[in-house]
């Protein structure tokens, strides 16, 4: 056995190397010191307490949530994904918020309701007094509101969400707690997708000045019920209850966001009790529905999936060819096969719960004879086209069905599965219009119809409008919809826009994805149709 | 000996240099715009252009590769595209978790696999040998991601004994060890089977050699022959295989790290490539390549140390 120790020498050398590396360079977690006392486990007495001693503190009440990727940027002007808004919504607050669904907003930081001028261009506000920012950055004032909104127009900063405040002229501070939001022109999305969501969250001007944007992006300061405590990259983000919160104290002492990218790992984590709440794939829904320890929460989102047809491609420039393709696809079968029939079928890109949804839009059923007839009208007996899609299981399933469906109508489809980065790169720019024919697409949206229609304007043709379709009337209506403040008139505008798209037959609408969240039966979660959840509003049953 | 080590070190350096240039170039062949992926669809063209310039993506690819190599020689692996933090910080945060996993899994494999191989070789063609042979081949053929999921379902969900996710903190060694147990076992299973077969084969070969027959003729005890004279020589090929294995595992056990959500080098490489995070991908792959070369270098040297015939042959 003399050689075994020698053999283990190699292992020891590598172990020592690793230990040295760990000691020399292990990145300290991004931790913000907090005045809160040490955790209960550290101060628990080793012996039973004497009757005269204070009782041992209870274990902290921790809510553990799955996030599908690591956080990237928690600055309200830059939030790149739902994961970041799910975290940041516990730290930041706006003047108004969606309390849990998108049908109403709730005023939270305001001492009295907004006053809006007759022309709709001046919105006056009065803040509650005594609201404190985290980490000792002082009281919330109208100056912070001015700073938070006007920074969206700072050309140096140039945040991606600057269009949320496209109509803002300025914010005038009229007192320590009062001010006027002044618009250059009426801006309908203000009340749906600016003030109540991330673009309306208030940041601390003092913290921004002292710490800088880069630091606050990963350790933000707000007025919300939880303050940022710790970030261990690719492992977890920890928020701790803000003891000086101005409102009702939330239930949980800490909220832990655990990074679990793989759905199967997340499902196991839920079943083993490692997390209390998280999104799961459609294939796991049945299993959790049958498990008495969990509740499944399906949320019909505003997102939309469809098959885009490139109207500029020679194969698809004839509208009859596009109609033939639309008539040749069995959309219900796609949803059944790819999503276990659990997604709501889409009539257009507007989800039914969104203002401007076209509830009477035609629902195209598969009609092979009709498809052949359209093809004949285009002077064709058969056609060869390509279908490009991001190579994930659901898309591959749908693509194969589309291929089989269209083959019966005389349309031969070549499938082009692509890795995510290539898929999004190739369709973008002038090259996309040349190479793409049919493309399986999926977009998410903010809760305002303008953020659905904007991607299909002429200005987006070489950017995100992958039907490469340009219609001036559609563009005019889009601009009109942004300015129209009457909801009914606005809804009519968006229906008209969807009708224009339907006539152009450049899309086969598939589904509005349903997000499935699983929570322990002891927890009541709050999830919105944007697919975001609001952890600080979670309660135990 | 010194010349041998010098020669191997020079070769290792050449391999590293070639690997660096190749990897840095290959990273740019992956299609996809990191700026678009990072900033999202609503970023303005001006913003995208500014970020592209800041990242050095405006430079021709050979210039970017040269900049990477020059930076590397100065000890700078560049900055991560997403968080702008130094890549070296990301790697040094991930590497200890990967090293711990690799050492634990190979350690487990050595402690279990080698004895199993010895037991098989000591009783060739017995029912025990056949059973161990069946078991070893079964372990070799089960893919790591399958054994990882099965272990999770059994121990984390079914028996609820061990937490299923994360790596834990080094400040809590007991907790860290518990978190390490399942992923290390998942990785070790294949190696246990492999080492058991390898040791059995080598040992049987050695046991048929003349010097073993001579030892038996001298009347030495079978146990002494097996452990003192045969096993030492039988383990020489095992050491070489372990060197390659250690290099591979240090390069990133991607499946296991992703399934157990461990923040190691493998998951860092995977994530960096999907995000087109060139600096992070380049740096992490380079470190993986370095560790692979280093592990092989150590294995080579120990091979030479363990086998005096090589030294004699060289002299």
Contact A4 B302 (CB under 8 A): no
Q: What is the pLDDT of residue B42?
A: 63
Q: Are A434 and A398 in contact (CB under 8 A)?
A: no
Contact A160 B40 (CB under 8 A): yes
Number of CB atoms found within 10 A of residue A465's CB:
21
Which stretches does DSSP call E strand in A59-121?
62-67, 96-97, 106-107, 110-116
Determine the Cα–Cα distance for residues B224 and A1; give it in Å rounded to an integer. 9
Chain A residue closest in CA terms to B39: A80
The H or E element spanning position A494 is helix A487-504
Tokens of A523: 């927890």
Is the pLDDT assigned to residue A347 strictly greater than 70? yes
pLDDT in tens, A278-324: 999 888 999 999 999 999 999 989 999 999 999 999 999 999 999 99
Q: Nearest CB to A262: which of B167, B259, B306?
A: B259
**Minimal Cα–Cα distance from B172 to chain A, Å?**
13
pLDDT in tens, A63-102: 999 999 888 889 999 988 889 999 999 999 999 988 877 7
Determine the Cα–Cα distance for residues A424 and A435; give it in Å rounded to an integer. 13
Number of CB atoms found within 10 A of residue B181's CB:
16
Predicted confidence band of residue A18 (pLDDT cuts 50, 70, 90): very low
Q: Nearest CB to A233: which of B33, B170, B263?
A: B263
The H or E element spanning position A509 is strand A507-512
Q: Are B264 and B251 in contact (CB under 8 A)?
A: no
Q: What is the ipTM of this complex?
A: 0.73
Q: Indicate the pairing of strand A30-31 with strand A411-418.
A: unpaired
What sections of chain B are H helices per DSSP? Answer: 2-29, 34-39, 45-55, 61-73, 87-122, 127-141, 144-151, 173-207, 210-217, 222-224, 231-234, 236-250, 254-259, 265-274, 278-306, 308-314
- Considering just the CA atoms, what is the radius of gyration of chain B in Å? 24
Q: Nearest CB to A421: which of B31, B95, B114?
A: B31
Bridge partners (DSSP) of residue A256 are: A64, A238
Q: Are A230 and A30 in contact (CB under 8 A)?
A: yes
Predicted confidence band of residue A534 (pLDDT cuts 50, 70, 90): very high
pLDDT in tens, A98-121: 887 777 888 888 878 889 998 889
Residue A487 Ramachandran class (φ > 0 left, ψ -120 to 50 alpha, else beta): alpha
Q: What is the pLDDT of residue B37?
A: 65
Q: H/E/C letters for each residue in A369-437?
A: HHHHHHHHHCCCCCEEEEEEEECCHHHHHHHHHHHHHHHHCCEEEEEEEECHHHHHHHCCCHHHHHHCC
Q: State phi, psi for A349 to the nearest 5 degrees.
A: -80, -15
A6 chain-B contacts, CB cut-off 8 A: 302, 305-306
Pick from A2, A9, A18, A428 the residue to mutate for testing the B interface (most B CBs within 10 Å): A18
Residue A12 Ramachandran class (φ > 0 left, ψ -120 to 50 alpha, else beta): alpha
Q: Nearest CB to A10: which of B98, B271, B299?
A: B299
Interval A241-251 mean pLDDT? 93
Q: State phi, psi for B26 to the nearest 5 degrees.
A: -60, -35
* Dihedral sign for Cα atoms in the order A213, A215, A218, A219: negative
Q: What is the pLDDT of residue A40?
A: 33
Task: Tell which CATH architecture fits domain B88-314.
Answer: Orthogonal Bundle (1.10)
Is the pLDDT assigned to residue A23 strictly greater than 50? no
Contact A233 B93 (CB under 8 A): yes
Number of CB atoms found within 10 A of residue A194's CB:
26
Determine the Cα–Cα distance for residues B149 and B155; give it in Å rounded to an integer. 10
Q: State phi, psi for A329 to the nearest 5 degrees.
A: -105, 135
Is residue B44 less than 8 Å (CB to CB) from chain A?
yes
Q: Are A467 and A311 in contact (CB under 8 A)?
A: yes
Encode burial over A396-412: b for 16+ CB neighbours within 10 A, e otherwise: eebbbbbeebbeebbbe
B106 chain-A contacts, CB cut-off 8 A: 11
Determine the Cα–Cα distance for residues B195 and B140; give it in Å rounded to an integer. 10
pLDDT in tens, B227-262: 878 888 888 888 878 887 887 777 657 888 888 888
Q: Nearest CB to B103: which of A6, A15, A262?
A: A15
Number of CB atoms found within 10 A of residue A489's CB:
12
Q: What is the pLDDT of residue B271?
A: 81
Is the pLDDT assigned to residue A26 strictly greater than 90? no
Q: Are A421 and B274 in contact (CB under 8 A)?
A: yes
* Dihedral sign for Cα atoms in the order B226, B230, B236, B238: negative
A 22-41 → B contacts, CB under 8 A: 22, 24-27
Encode burial over B100-138: b for 16+ CB neighbours within 10 A, e otherwise: bbbbbbbbbbbebbbebbbbbbbeeeeeebeebbeebee
- The CA distances from residue B197 to A404, A420, B204, in Å, are 48, 41, 11
Encode burial over A351-363: b for 16+ CB neighbours within 10 A, e otherwise: beebbbbbeebee
Chain B residue closest in CA terms to A24: B92
pLDDT in tens, A120-174: 899 999 999 999 999 999 999 999 999 999 999 998 888 888 889 989 999 999 9
Residue A382 Ramachandran class (φ > 0 left, ψ -120 to 50 alpha, else beta): beta
Tell me the helix, strand and coil percentages in chain A, rounded to 5.
Answer: 35, 20, 40
For every residue of A269-325, DSSP letters joined together read HHHTTS-SEEEE-HHHHHHHHT-TTEEEEEEE-S-EEEEEE-TTSTTT-SHHHHHHH
Tokens of A7: 């053999």
Predicted confidence band of residue A12 (pLDDT cuts 50, 70, 90): very low
pLDDT tens per residue, chain B (315 residues)?
A: 677 778 888 888 888 888 877 877 776 676 666 776 667 666 677 777 777 777 777 778 788 778 877 888 887 887 777 677 788 888 888 889 998 999 999 999 999 999 999 888 888 888 988 999 899 988 888 888 888 888 888 888 888 777 767 787 888 888 888 889 999 999 999 999 999 999 898 888 888 888 888 888 888 888 888 887 888 888 888 887 888 788 777 765 788 888 888 888 888 888 888 777 778 888 888 888 888 888 888 877 777 777 777 666 655
Determine the Cα–Cα distance for residues A29 and B171; give it in Å rounded to an integer. 12
Determine the Cα–Cα distance for residues B268 and B82; give it in Å rounded to an integer. 13
pLDDT above 70 covers what percent of chain A? 89
pLDDT in tens, A411-426: 999 999 998 778 887 8
Determine the Cα–Cα distance for residues A264 and A280; give it in Å rounded to an integer. 8
pLDDT in tens, A454-479: 999 999 998 889 999 999 999 999 99
- Considering just the CA atoms, what is the radius of gyration of chain A in Å? 27
Domain boundaries, chain B: 2-73, 88-314
SS3 A27: coil
Residue A429 Ramachandran class (φ > 0 left, ψ -120 to 50 alpha, else beta): left
Q: What is the pLDDT of residue A14?
A: 41
């Amino acid at each position: 056995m003399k050689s075994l120790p020698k053999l283990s020498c190699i292992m020891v050398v590598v172990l020592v190397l690793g230990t040295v590396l760990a000691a020399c360079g292990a990145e300290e977690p991004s931790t913000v010191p907090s005045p809160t006392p040490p955790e209960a486990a550290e101060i628990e007495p080793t012996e039973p307490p004497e009757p005269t001693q204070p009782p041992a503190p209870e274990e902290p009440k921790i809510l553990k949530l799955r996030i599908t990727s690591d956080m990237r940027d928690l600055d309200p002007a830059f939030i790149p994904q739902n994961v970041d808004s799910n975290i940041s919504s516990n730290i930041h607050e706006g003047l108004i918020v969606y309390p849990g669904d998108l049908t109403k907003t709730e005023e939270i930081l305001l001492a009295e309701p907004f006053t809006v001028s007759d022309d709709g261009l001046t919105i006056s506000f009065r803040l509650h007094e005594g609201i404190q920012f985290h980490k000792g950055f002082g009281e919330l004032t109208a100056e912070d509101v001015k700073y938070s909104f006007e920074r969206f127009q700072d050309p140096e900063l140039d945040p991606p969400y600057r269009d949320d405040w496209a109509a803002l002229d300025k914010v005038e501070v009229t007192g320590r707690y009062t001010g006027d939001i002044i618009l250059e022109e009426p801006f309908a999305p203000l009340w749906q997708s600016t003030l109540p969501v991330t673009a309306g969250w208030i940041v601390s001007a003092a913290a921004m000045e002292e710490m800088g944007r880069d630091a606050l992006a990963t350790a933000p300061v707000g007025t919300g019920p939880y303050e940022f405590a710790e970030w261990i990259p690719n492992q977890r983000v920890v928020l701790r209850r803000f003891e000086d919160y101005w409102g009702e104290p939330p239930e949980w002492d800490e909220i832990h966001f655990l990074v679990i990218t793989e759905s199967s790992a997340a499902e196991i984590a839920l079943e083993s009790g490692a997390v209390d709440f998280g999104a799961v794939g459609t294939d796991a829904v049945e299993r959790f529905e049958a498990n008495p320890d969990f509740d499944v929460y399906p949320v019909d989102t505003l997102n939309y999936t469809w098959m885009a047809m490139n109207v500029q491609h020679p194969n698809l420039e004839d509208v009859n060819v596009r109609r033939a393709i639309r008539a040749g696809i069995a959309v219900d079968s796609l949803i059944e096969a790819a999503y276990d029939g659990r997604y709501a079928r889409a009539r257009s890109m507007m989800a039914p719960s969104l203002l401007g949804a076209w509830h009477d839009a035609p629902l195209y059923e598969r009609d092979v004879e009709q498809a052949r007839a359209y093809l004949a009208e285009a002077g064709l007996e058969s056609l060869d086209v390509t279908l490009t899609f991001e190579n994930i299981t659901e898309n591959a399933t749908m693509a194969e069905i589309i291929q089989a469906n269209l083959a019966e109508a005389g349309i031969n489809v070549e499938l082009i599965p692509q890795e995510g980065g290539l898929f999004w790169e190739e369709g973008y720019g002038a090259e996309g219009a040349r190479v793409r024919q049919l493309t399986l697409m999926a977009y998410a949206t903010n809760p305002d119809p303008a953020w659905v229609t904007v991607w299909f304007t002429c200005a987006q043709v070489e950017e995100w409008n992958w039907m490469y379709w340009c219609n001036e009337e559609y563009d005019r209506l889009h601009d009109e919809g942004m300015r129209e403040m009457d909801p009914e008139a606005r809804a009519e505008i968006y229906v008209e826009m969807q009708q224009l798209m339907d006539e152009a037959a450049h899309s086969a609408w598939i589904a509005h994805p349903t997000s499935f969240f699983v929570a322990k039966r002891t927890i009541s979660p709050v999830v919105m149709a944007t697919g975001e959840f609001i952890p600080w509003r979670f309660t135990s049953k | 000996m010194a010349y041998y080590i010098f020669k191997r070190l020079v070769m290792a350096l050449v391999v590293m240099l070639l690997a660096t240039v190749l990897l840095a170039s290959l990273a740019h062949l992956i299609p996809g715009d990191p700026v678009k992926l990072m900033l999202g669809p609503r970023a303005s063209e001006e913003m995208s252009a500014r970020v592209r310039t800041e990242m050095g993506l405006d430079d021709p690819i050979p210039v970017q590769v040269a900049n990477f190599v020059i930076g590397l020689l100065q000890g700078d692996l560049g900055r991560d595209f997403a968080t702008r933090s130094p890549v070296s910080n990301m790697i040094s945060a991930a590497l200890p978790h990967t090293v711990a996993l690799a050492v634990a899994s190979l350690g487990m494999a050595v402690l279990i696999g080698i004895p199993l191989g010895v037991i098989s070789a000591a009783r060739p063609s017995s029912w025990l040998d056949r059973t161990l042979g069946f078991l070893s081949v079964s372990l070799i053929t089960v893919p790591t991601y399958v054994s990882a999921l099965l272990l999770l379902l059994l121990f984390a969900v079914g028996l609820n004994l061990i937490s299923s996710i994360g790596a834990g903190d080094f400040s809590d060694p007991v907790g860290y060890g518990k978190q390490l147990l399942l992923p290390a076992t998942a990785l070790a299973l294949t190696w246990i089977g492999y080492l058991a077969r390898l040791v059995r084969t080598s040992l049987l070969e050695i046991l048929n050699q003349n010097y073993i027959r001579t030892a038996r003729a001298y009347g030495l005890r079978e146990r002494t022959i097996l452990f003192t004279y045969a096993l030492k020589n039988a383990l020489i090929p095992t050491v070489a295989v372990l060197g390659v294995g250690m290099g591979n595992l240090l390069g990133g056990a991607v499946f296991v790290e992703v399934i157990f959500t461990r923040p190691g080098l493998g998951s860092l490489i995977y994530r960096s490539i999907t995000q087109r995070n060139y600096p992070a991908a380049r740096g992490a792959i380079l470190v993986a390549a370095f560790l692979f070369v280093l592990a092989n270098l150590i294995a080579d040297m120990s091979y030479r140390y363990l086998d005096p015939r090589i030294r004699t042959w060289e002299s």
